[in-house]
């Protein structure tokens, strides 16, 4: 009797915790969307900001956000997948691999503002790249690299070892087995990590404001300074420039982030069917 009562209490606590988290999430979504959606229009989306964001739209901001995010993913994906393949396929569990994994997990725990300060000192000042898309992309690629490595490593580990044995027995070598068997089978997990990394880049502000700058003009090269949507939202609110445009920017940013997360779930669902 006492055991059943204890289980009911624990189940009720878990349910209340879940409802609390869901309620807070929906409240935040409702608050941002309800305050911002009425200021969103095609003109707002497809015109550049004017007067530091007091008027105009977010077109150059949106373009700059997507460019720097996609470039960051393109830089980090080959490095991340290659590192994961080395850890799973080419190395045994040794002190070296444990040190590498510890380093990767430590990098994942570093606050994004530290990445921003490192990017500012190394890319902006030391390499003289200035506040630019390239500096911001290199910094973001370092920030999302641990996520891509870990998700890729777990996806590759999930491929049954007997599939590799069958491939070897048919005459395939190590490289052929990796390209024809391992990577295609691990693709859903790897793609999920890539999409989630893209979402993190889109929503990042601290690492970008130190490296990519705050320019609102349309970028024309990788060495141009840009302002991402997260930074734009922060500046509009902090400086009190335009609360209406801030809420509209936050609504677009939130929608874009939710869309990216939805795509990641769809990828997993499709490959699991």
What sign for the dihedral angle of Cα 109, 115, 117, 122? Answer: positive
pLDDT tens column, 175-200 = 888 888 898 888 888 988 888 898 88
User: What are the sequence ranges of the domains in the chain?
Assistant: 63-227
pLDDT tens column, 75-101 = 999 999 999 999 888 888 888 888 888
pLDDT tens column, 190-245 = 988 888 898 889 888 889 999 998 888 888 888 999 999 999 988 888 888 888 88
Write down the pLDDT at residue 79: 93
Band of pLDDT at residue 67, cut at 50, 70 and 90: very high
Residue of 149 and 56 predicted with greater confidence: 149
How many Cα atoms sit within 13 Å of 222 on the Cβ side?
10
Residue appearing with tokens 């601290």: 206
Residue appearing with tokens 């880049």: 201
Superfamily of domain 63-227: MetI-like (1.10.3720.10)
Q: What are phi and psi of 49, to 5 degrees?
A: -65, 150
Q: Which of 190, 77, 74, 192 has the alpha carbon at shortest distance from 133?
A: 74
pLDDT tens column, 138-164 = 999 999 999 999 999 999 998 888 888
pLDDT tens column, 8-39 = 888 888 888 889 989 988 898 888 888 888 88
Answer whether residue 271 shows pLDDT above 70. Answer: no
Band of pLDDT at residue 65, cut at 50, 70 and 90: very high
> DSSP labels for the chain?
-HHHHHHHHHHHHHHHHHHHHHHHHHHHHHHHHHHHGGG--HHHHHS-EEGGGTEE--HHHHHHHHHHHHHHHHHHHHHHHHHHHIIIII--S-HHHHHHHHHHHHHHTS-HHHHHHHHIIIIIIIS---SSHHHHHHHHHHHHHHHHHHHHHHHHHTS-HHHHHHHHHTT--HHHHIIIIIHHHHHHHHHHHHHHHHHHHHH--HHHHTTT----SPP-STTS----HHHHHHHHHHTTS-HHHHHHHHHHHHHHHHHHHHHHHHHHHHHH-
How many Cα atoms sit within 13 Å of 268 on the Cβ side?
14
Tokens linked to 46? 């497809």
How many Cα atoms sit within 13 Å of 52 on the Cβ side?
11
Tokens linked to 73? 């993913």
The contacts found for 97-104 with CB under 8 angstroms, 24 or more apart, are 104/146, 104/149, 104/150
Q: What are phi and psi of 216, to 5 degrees?
A: -100, 0
Q: What is the mean pLDDT of residues 128-145?
A: 93
Answer whether residue 115 shows pLDDT above 90. Answer: yes
Q: Which of 196, 182, 190 has the alpha carbon at shortest distance from 259?
A: 196
For residue 255, count other CB atoms closer than 10 A to its CB: 16
Residues pairing with 55 in the sheet? 50
Answer whether residue 71 shows pLDDT above 90. Answer: yes
């Amino acid at each position: 009797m006492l055991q059943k009562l204890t289980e009911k209490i624990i189940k009720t606590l878990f349910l209340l915790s879940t409802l609390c988290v869901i309620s807070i999430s929906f409240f935040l979504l409702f608050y941002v969307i309800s305050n911002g959606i009425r200021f969103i229009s095609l003109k707002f989306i497809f015109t550049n900001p004017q007067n530091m964001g007091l008027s105009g739209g977010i077109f150059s901001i949106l373009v700059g956000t997507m460019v720097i995010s996609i470039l960051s993913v393109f830089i980090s994906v080959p490095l991340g997948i290659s590192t994961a393949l080395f850890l799973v396929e080419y190395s045994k569990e040794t002190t070296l691999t444990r040190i590498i994994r510890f380093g990767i997990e430590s990098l994942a725990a570093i606050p994004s503002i530290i990445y921003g300060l490192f990017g500012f000192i190394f890319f902006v000042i030391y390499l003289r790249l200035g506040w630019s898309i390239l500096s911001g992309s290199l910094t973001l690629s370092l920030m999302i690299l641990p996520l891509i490595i870990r998700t890729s490593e777990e996806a590759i580990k999930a491929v049954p070892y007997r599939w590799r044995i069958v491939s070897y027995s048919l005459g395939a070598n190590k490289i052929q087995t990796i390209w024809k068997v391992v990577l295609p089978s691990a693709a859903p997990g790897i793609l999920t990590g890539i999409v989630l990394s893209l979402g993190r880049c889109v929503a990042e502000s601290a690492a970008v404001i130190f490296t990519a700058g705050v320019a609102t003009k349309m970028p024309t090269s990788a060495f141009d300074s840009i302002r991402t949507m997260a930074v734009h939202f922060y500046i509009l609110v902090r400086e009190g420039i335009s609360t209406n445009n801030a809420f509209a920017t936050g609504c677009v940013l939130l929608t874009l982030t939710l869309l990216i997360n939805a795509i990641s779930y769809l990828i997993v669902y499709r490959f699991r069917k």
